[in-house]
DNA sequence: CTATACTGTATATACAATATACATTTACTG
DNA sequence: CAGTAAATGTATATTGTATATACAGTATAG
């Protein structure tokens, strides 16, 4: 038991400090004044600033200032700015997970997941600016993975196949989220009345993308299809890609089931 | 023609300055001393630094220093650090594109593309740290898109469907590239002999991921499948996902062809 | 030849993250 | 209850960042 305890303490303390904080691992303080600040207060203040002015606006001094404290006071709660970013990320990823429902089609639920992720990107455009450092380790992220595993509970697949699908879907969700976000911000920026037809870089590309150097891209640039100057609402575009991925998953599961039966 | 000229200048100069530079758009200097520096020299120096010490190590002063010039000299060639990042990105994306080959299966070629992208991430791990600001606009990126359109030349699809597929494949390539990169760096970091079995965060997660809060993830964490402590080489994992996407594309193309024939 | 435009540089500004030392406040221990 | 240990928030300083500005030198066009 002693060894167990030591081992436990060790393996937990080997976690990146931000990850440890996200799990609520803090050494309890027995003496000294009660902290006036708190990690949630700091994280929420940072999120508010990022929502309003972007991730670049989140500096330790700005966060502290918005709370009425000095810059260095924050370092009594987190060890570095990196911690803060981890905590911000985990906080906004904590989306409500729909309760298990008996006959719900798995395709619907995976779509629900992707659009929920996109929603996070739209609510918090800075989300995509936080670099991914590795495998998800924080509780908010893991709850979402747990959800996706629940969806695939009855698939005739092993754990690794399921994890591959989680990876596939979540990668696509991130991509879609980033694109949606950029689209949103472009719309917000180009909402001025005259900026409609000549907006974007279509004209410039039409000069630069020559038919000899870019034989296959050239017609798409000329027609304006590349720069989306013509119909084709992007939401359909992203849904379209998702349907292809789900088709691919479905095909694999069916094939596996077929092989299992015979 | 006058108006044309004016319009041309306008639309080109509306491009982000880094993008303009990537197309070689610079106002030619007629007087004054010849520049000792040049954009390629600056960009290559920056790439070297990033390759060696990561993107964070690329500062204007460090780049200038490595070239034997002062920080501010760089601003005679680029307008901001953002330009430099755009140029770095475009430079390393300029991968050799295989010549068109008659009977080559499209699936093979798409895989070739994805692994080529992954190669870029492995050669230049900082690639994934450069945020994507929007639609690709620089020549290196567009050449790759041209390649993918070439692969789909004979697909019975319209331009938008093809662009959707380009988006789908390139998004996945980026995801795979990021993961491969992180894997590589983890291997490099954990290559020390004792770091094999206890390496990573498996032990910590086994304590934190409780069966009641994470009913579906719990068994994967316990078995070590989640933290990859057990077999399952990730290269197969990523190939696996790609095959699913290609299955989804194939399924769609077949369906479309079938509908077209009847 | 000279005015012009361009080069590289020196200096300065305004931030950034964070290390360190300190006064203050609290609560556990004897 | 007293005293000590620990924790908090702050002030200050260090180092590093991007970049604005002004300037001295240089090569070219007229």
Q: Which CATH number, 1.10.357.10, 1.10.1060.10, 1.10.287.3510, 3.30.565.10, labels domain A96-189+232-261?
A: 1.10.357.10
Which pair of structure tokens corresponds to residue A129? 């600016």
- Statement: residue B229 has pLDDT above 60: yes
Whether CB of A3 is under 7 Å from strand D: the answer is no
Structural domain boundaries in chain B = 2-92, 95-189+232-261
77-136 of chain A touching strand C, CB 7 A cut-off:
80-82
Residue B128: alpha-carbon gap to chain centroid:
6
Nearest to A82 by CA among A120, A10, A9, A138: A138
Nearest to A133 by CA among A260, A1, A17, A12: A17
Q: What is the mean pLDDT of residues B153-157?
A: 95
In this prediction the pTM is 0.89
Nearest to A162 by CA among A141, A140, A147: A147
Separation in Å, CA A236 to CA A190, A228, A239, A242: 21, 13, 5, 10
CATH domain A2-92 topology = Arc Repressor Mutant, subunit A (1.10.10)
3-62 of chain B touching strand C, CB 7 A cut-off:
27, 29-37
| Fold agreement between A2-92 and A96-189+232-261 | no
A172 near A245, Cβ under 8 Å? yes
At the top level of CATH, the class of B95-189+232-261 is: mainly alpha
- At residue B189, the pLDDT reads 65
Q: What is the mean pLDDT of residues A86-99?
A: 97
Q: What is the mean pLDDT of residues A141-163?
A: 96
Q: In percent, how much of chain A has pLDDT > 70?
A: 90
- Statement: residue B195 has pLDDT above 70: no
Q: Which residues of chain B have a CB within 8 Å of the CB of A246?
A: 248
CA within 13 Å, CB half, A162: 21
- At residue A169, the pLDDT reads 96
- At residue B134, the pLDDT reads 78
B105 near B233, Cβ under 8 Å? no
Distance in angstroms (rounded) separating the CA atoms of residues B58 and B28: 28
For an interface test with A, give the residue of B185, B215, B216, B225 to mutate (most A CBs within 10 A): B216
- Statement: residue B107 has pLDDT above 80: yes
- Statement: residue B2 has pLDDT above 80: no
Separation in Å, CA A137 to CA A22, A146, B151, B204, B232: 9, 12, 39, 10, 20
Question: Exposure string (b/e) for A21-32, b if CB count within 10 Å is 16 or more?
Answer: bbbeeeeeeeee
A169 near A114, Cβ under 8 Å? yes
């Amino acid at each position: 038991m002693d060894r167990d305890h030591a081992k436990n303490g060790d393996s937990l303390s080997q976690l990146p400090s931000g990850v440890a904080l996200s799990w609520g691992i803090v050494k309890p303080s027995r003496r000294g004044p009660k902290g006036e600040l708190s990690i949630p207060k700091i994280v929420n203040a940072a999120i508010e600033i990022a929502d309003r002015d972007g991730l670049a606006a989140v500096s330790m001094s700005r966060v502290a200032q918005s709370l009425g404290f000095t810059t260095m006071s924050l370092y009594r709660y987190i060890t570095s700015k990196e911690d803060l970013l981890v905590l911000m990320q985990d906080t906004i990823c904590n989306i409500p997970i729909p309760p298990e429902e008996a006959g719900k089609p798995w395709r619907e639920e995976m779509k629900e997941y992707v659009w929920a992720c996109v929603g996070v990107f739209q609510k918090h455009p800075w989300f995509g600016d936080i670099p991914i450092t590795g495998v998800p380790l924080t509780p908010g992220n893991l709850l979402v993975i747990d959800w996706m595993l629940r969806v695939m509970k009855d698939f005739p697949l092993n754990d690794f196949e399921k994890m591959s699908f989680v990876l596939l879907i979540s990668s696509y969700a991130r991509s879609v989220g980033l694109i949606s976000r950029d689209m949103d911000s472009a719309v917000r920026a180009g909402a001025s009345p005259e900026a409609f037809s000549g907006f974007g870089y279509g004209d410039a590309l039409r000069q630069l993308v020559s038919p000899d150097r870019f034989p296959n891209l050239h017609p798409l640039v000329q027609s304006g299809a590349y720069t989306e100057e013509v119909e084709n609402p992007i939401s359909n575009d992203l849904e379209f890609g998702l349907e292809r991925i789900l088709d691919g998953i479905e095909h694999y599961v069916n094939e596996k089931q077929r092989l299992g039966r015979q």
